[in-house]
Amino acid sequence: MVMALDGIKVLDLSRLAPGPHCSMLLADFGADVTLVEAVPGASAKLGGMRSNENAERAAAYNALGRGKKSIALNLKDDSAREIFYELVKGADVVIEGFRPGVVKRLGVDYDTLAQINPRIICCSVSGFGQTGPYSNLVGHDINYISVGGALGVIGRPGTPPAIPVNIIADFAGGGLTAAFAICVAIIAREKTGRGQNVDIGMSDGVLSLMTSAFSGFFSSGRPIRPGEFLLNGAVPWYNTYQCKDGRWFSIGSIEPHFYAALTQVLGFPEYAHRQHDSAVYPEMAEKYAAKFLEKTADEWMEIMSQYDICAAPVLEMENVVTNPHNVARGMIVEVDSPVGRVKQIGVGPKLSGTPGQVRSTAPLLGQDTDAVLAGLGYDTAKIAALRDQGAVG
């Protein structure tokens, strides 16, 4: 089967979620991704999984590592760095997620690698980007969504910000944005003949996701506050309600015809023409809340799915993976692994001609070191010597 990124070779130096998510997305569409991981013991901060039963199980369920190979190199060692340079000669993309300046110290920065391979695309994924007053600050998702503006609009009035799982910065602003940028750079290379450096700051990615929200702010001068905007909980007809079974249900009937259907099904015709009358919102919300408590979340879905109403149950994780729609869309898959078949989340984008595919589970640390080095012309004795000196693992 032809895949969209067949022939694209990626070297992934990244460790934490955003970089591996980026290379997972590329691997799902056919890119040949090789993880360049730290030799065990070479760094106090970095490491990987040795070959044992627990490691095999962890690798099998590590979806971010799927479809990839793994070699272990100590890039502080001259011999290992030369191996990396050899790999760069035949590569298209290098991904790294170190703090700014680290790749320069290791001798694997874009300027160095572009001299070896002018077509190489280097993508740096960091919290605040390679420049600016925050560039050398440490951080995590919560900090990046704070600076990027997302955390400041989430929550209810008068309550602390609602902290989401690390989806917005790490995975959307970081990994997804990086994968998109790499594909753009690959297309650009077809026009220019040269690669380029890609600087992904996760706080930038978050702010980019906020483009539409800030368009309204720039136009009106009114900032969005938690729970005070149509799309973050200010109106009863775009909100969540607890049901009889303790679960929650979401409605988002913004358009007038969807709203009209909602008032009909809930049995409140008196609100049919008062969608934008904020004076009735408190009593409307109170009646809606009482009404939703009369049935379970699934019962409400069964009713509302028969009408044009923007509605859905708030699915808990255990219900997400059994939801018939998610299953029918191929978003829950089973993959063969050394520990048996394991479940993972499937491929999001559906391409008709060159679809993505989960091709294998994650490798163990250094699982492919020997094979990769043999492909570069290293014989068994040389590989053994490199391993003895700690250059490879």
As annotated, the active-site residues are: 140, 170
**Residue closest to 152 by CA, chosen among 161, 163, 143:** 161
CA 100 – CA 109 distance, rounded (Å):
10
Query: Which residue reads 């989340």 in tokens?
Result: 345
CA 349 – CA 52 distance, rounded (Å):
34
Identity of the amino acid at 194: R
CA 372 – CA 366 distance, rounded (Å):
10
**Residue closest to 197 by CA, chosen among 111, 258, 261, 255:** 111
CA 311 – CA 261 distance, rounded (Å):
11
213 neighbors 224 (Cβ within 8 angstroms): yes
CA 275 – CA 259 distance, rounded (Å):
7
Give φ, ψ of 254 to 5 degrees.
Answer: -80, -50
Read off the tokens for 182.
Answer: 């790499």
Query: Which residue reads 């609100």 in tokens?
Result: 271
- The CA dihedral of 368, 373, 378, 379, to the nearest 10 degrees, is 0
The contacts of residue 305 (CB under 8 Å, 6+ apart) are 311
* Residue 138, burial from CB neighbour count under 10 angstroms (0-12, 13-18, 19+): exposed
List strands edge to edge, sheet with 311-313: 238-242, 248-252, 311-313
CA 139 – CA 134 distance, rounded (Å):
10
